[in-house]
């Protein structure tokens, strides 16, 4: 549910990391925020001050009214419920809410470990793995994005930002097998103006903190 609460948001951001998805999410929401950008090689995530906000020392990290929120799915749900438009954030009593929540958690609980399974060659019995298998994840994912719509049909939601970023990332780095359904979905979601704004910020901050020379 959206509220009249005025945002006081800081995004702790490092270029070329998973914090891009939180940046994209904030641009999609259209709420004001402060960008706390830094180079991961500078050691900030290991400081006591940062670990007090996120004990894992990871990004993305959002602080709203002094309250830290980490983990991509949690950030998306928190910000969406407080600051999102009703169309993009199904309310608790909306019939689309269960599917919305499912896709929000699908990324971290199913896609991420499946990517690792594929890239690192893990041999895991599907019956014992919470994510099942890469093959099953791929089948479910491609079926969900087949067609010309979104995860919830004609309704675009913040779940498309979260999952769309992982599809884009997975295709770019070979964590997802090439598939025209995934490529069309990635093209649809990255055509949104919020993606272009977020990517412009990503490129600007990446220039400020360039990658280490090979």
Q: Does the pLDDT value for residue 1 go beyond 50?
A: no
pLDDT digits (tens, 9 = 90+) for 128-146: 888 999 999 999 999 999 9
pLDDT digits (tens, 9 = 90+) for 50-107: 999 999 999 999 999 999 999 999 999 999 999 999 999 999 999 999 999 999 999 9
- CA torsion sign, 183 to 185 to 188 to 193? negative
Same domain, 38 and 109: no
Give CA–CA dist 69/129, Å, rounded. Answer: 27
Q: What percent of the chain has pLDDT over 70?
A: 97
| Residue 3 covered by a domain | no
| Residue 4 covered by a domain | no
Same domain, 31 and 64: yes
Its domain, for residue 15, covers 9-87+195-208
| Residue 19 covered by a domain | yes
Nearest to 157 by CA among 109, 91, 213: 91
CB 133 within 8 A of CB 127: no
Q: What is the pLDDT, as a whole number, of residue 213?
A: 62
Same domain, 48 and 120: no
CB 103 within 8 A of CB 118: no
Average pLDDT over residues 167-172: 96
pTM: 0.92
Number of domains in the chain: 2
The domain that contains 74 carries what CATH number? 3.40.30.10
Q: What is the pLDDT, as a whole number, of residue 88?
A: 97
Provide DSSP, 140-183. HHHHHH-SSSBTBBTB--HHHHHHHHHHHHHHHTTSS---HHHH
């Amino acid at each position: 549910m959206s509220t009249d609460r005025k945002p006081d948001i800081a995004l702790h951001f490092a270029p070329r990391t998973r914090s891009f998805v939180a940046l994209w999410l904030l641009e999609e929401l259209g709420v004001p925020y402060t960008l706390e950008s830094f180079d991961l090689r500078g050691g900030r995530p290991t400081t006591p001050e940062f670990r007090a906000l996120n004990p894992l020392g990871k990004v993305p990290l959002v602080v709203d009214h002094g309250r830290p929120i980490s983990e991509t799915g949690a950030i998306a749900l928190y910000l969406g419920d407080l600051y999102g438009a009703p169309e993009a954030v199904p309310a608790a009593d909306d019939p689309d809410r269960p599917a919305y929540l499912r896709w929000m958690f699908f990324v971290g609980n199913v896609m991420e470990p499946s990517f690792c399974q594929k890239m690192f060659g893990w041999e895991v019995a599907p019956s014992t793995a919470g994510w099942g298998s890469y093959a099953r994840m791929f089948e479910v994912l491609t079926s969900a994005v087949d067609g010309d719509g979104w995860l919830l049909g004609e309704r675009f939601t913040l779940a498309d930002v979260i999952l769309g970023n992982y599809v884009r990332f997975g295709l770019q780095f070979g964590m997802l097998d090439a598939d025209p359904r995934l490529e069309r979905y990635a093209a649809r979601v990255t055509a949104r103006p919020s993606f272009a704004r977020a990517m412009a910020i990503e490129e600007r901050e990446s220039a400020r903190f360039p990658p280490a020379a090979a």
